[in-house]
């Protein structure tokens, strides 16, 4: 009889301790039976650019012309034009006063720069004398980090750290027009660092520096896979874009070393 009570007590103890407790760190759902859904080997970049001191706090990157990447850093209202051939900053463009700038996008001579408070600067690249005033989106206290063009015309996706929704910004109306909840995502905070849409596969990638992972969302914003990334390769990943050739670029802030930009060549499906 004593053995039976001891066995029942042990079973009850195991069940209670396996059940999540309030306050436990949330885990991301993923499907381990799936093969990796991205056409990149994230453990082996094919190119690394080590950045100068001005970009030690690099927070966002976007392609502008061949061999040229526009960058912003956390503290200064400056767009830096980095030349990947000469491996140097070839131009600087001050668009506003110092602040907390997290990401940017360039298209057709036009920049959008996202601030952590949700405000967005919009300005032309060619008008170097213009100091822009930020557009208020009405979103506060969410610590925004990621900005990318969505699959819909004239719309951006905004990714925050402190909430688990994505937000849609309409560039014609200059306002937030939608809030999208990620399906199959169980954490209460996204902790996003960057976001990009892969227009070839229609997957959406959400990069998280704090969690050291890459979330893969389907076109309908369903989380289909979580990929752990190597902290030795990604010291502090903060910026991300996919080039027109389909290659993935990710920037790392300088953390006990120099900041860098990594390139991952797109692989053929048969090579994955």
* Region 3-17 average pLDDT: 40
Structure confidence at residue 268 (pLDDT): 78
For the chain, give the mean pLDDT. 87
CA angle, 155 then 153 then 219, to 5°: 75
Structure confidence at residue 127 (pLDDT): 60
Give domain status of residue 250, yes or no: yes
Sheet architecture: strand order including 155-160: 144-149, 155-160, 165-170, 175-181
The enclosing domain of 199 has a CATH number of 2.120.10.30
Give domain status of residue 16, yes or no: no
Give domain status of residue 40, yes or no: no
- Closest C-alpha to 93, from 64, 135, 56, 53: 64
Q: Which domain holds residue 253?
A: 52-271
For the segment 53-98, what is each residue's pLDDT rounded down to a tens digit? 999 999 999 999 999 999 999 999 999 999 999 999 999 999 999 9
Structure confidence at residue 129 (pLDDT): 56
70 Cβ partners below 8 Å, 6+ apart? 61, 62, 63, 64, 79, 80, 81, 82, 104, 106, 111
Contact (Cβ atoms closer than 8 angstroms) between residue 231 and residue 211: no
Give domain status of residue 92, yes or no: yes
Give domain status of residue 41, yes or no: no
108 pairs with which residues across the strands?
none
CA angle, 117 then 177 then 167, to 5°: 50
11 Cβ partners below 8 Å, 6+ apart? none
Give domain status of residue 173, yes or no: yes
Give domain status of residue 2, yes or no: no
CA angle, 37 then 150 then 184, to 5°: 50
Is the model more confident about 132 or about 251?
251
C-alpha–C-alpha distance, residues 87 and 97, integer Å: 27
Sheet architecture: strand order including 78-83: 58-65, 68-73, 78-83, 88-94
For the segment 88-119, what is each residue's pLDDT rounded down to a tens digit? 999 999 999 999 999 999 998 899 999 999 99
Give the pLDDT band (50/70/90) at residue 16: very low
Number of domains observed in the structure of the chain: 1
* Region 237-256 average pLDDT: 96
CA 61 to chain centre: 10
Dihedral of alpha carbons 246, 122, 153, 157, sign: positive
Residue listed under structure tokens 């057709």: 108
Give domain status of residue 162, yes or no: yes
Structure confidence at residue 23 (pLDDT): 33
């Amino acid at each position: 009889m004593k053995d039976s009570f001891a066995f029942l007590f042990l079973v009850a103890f195991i069940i209670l301790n396996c059940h999540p407790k309030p306050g436990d760190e949330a885990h991301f759902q993923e499907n381990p039976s799936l093969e990796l859904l991205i056409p990149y080997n994230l453990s082996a970049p094919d190119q690394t650019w080590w950045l100068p001191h001005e970009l030690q706090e690099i927070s966002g990157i976007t392609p502008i012309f061949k061999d040229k990447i526009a960058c912003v850093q956390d503290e200064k209202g400056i767009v830096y034009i980095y030349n990947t051939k000469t491996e140097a900053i070839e131009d600087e463009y001050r668009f506003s006063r110092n602040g907390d700038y997290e990401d940017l996008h360039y298209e057709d001579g036009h920049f959008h720069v996202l601030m952590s408070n949700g405000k967005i600067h919009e300005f032309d690249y060619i008008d170097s004398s213009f100091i822009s005033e930020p557009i208020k989106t009405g979103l506060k206290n969410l610590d925004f980090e990621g900005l990318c063009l969505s699959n819909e015309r004239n719309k951006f996706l905004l990714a925050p750290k402190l909430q688990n929704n994505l937000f849609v910004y309409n560039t014609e109306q200059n306002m937030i027009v939608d809030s999208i909840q990620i399906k199959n995502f169980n954490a209460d905070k996204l902790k996003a660092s960057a976001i990009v849409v892969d227009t070839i596969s229609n997957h959406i990638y959400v990069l998280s520096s704090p969690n050291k992972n890459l979330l893969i969302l389907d076109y309908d914003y369903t989380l289909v896979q979580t990929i752990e990334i190597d902290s030795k390769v990604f010291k502090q990943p903060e910026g991300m874009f996919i080039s027109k050739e389909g290659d993935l670029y990710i920037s790392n802030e300088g953390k006990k070393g120099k900041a860098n930009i990594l390139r991952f060549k797109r692989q053929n499906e048969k090579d994955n």
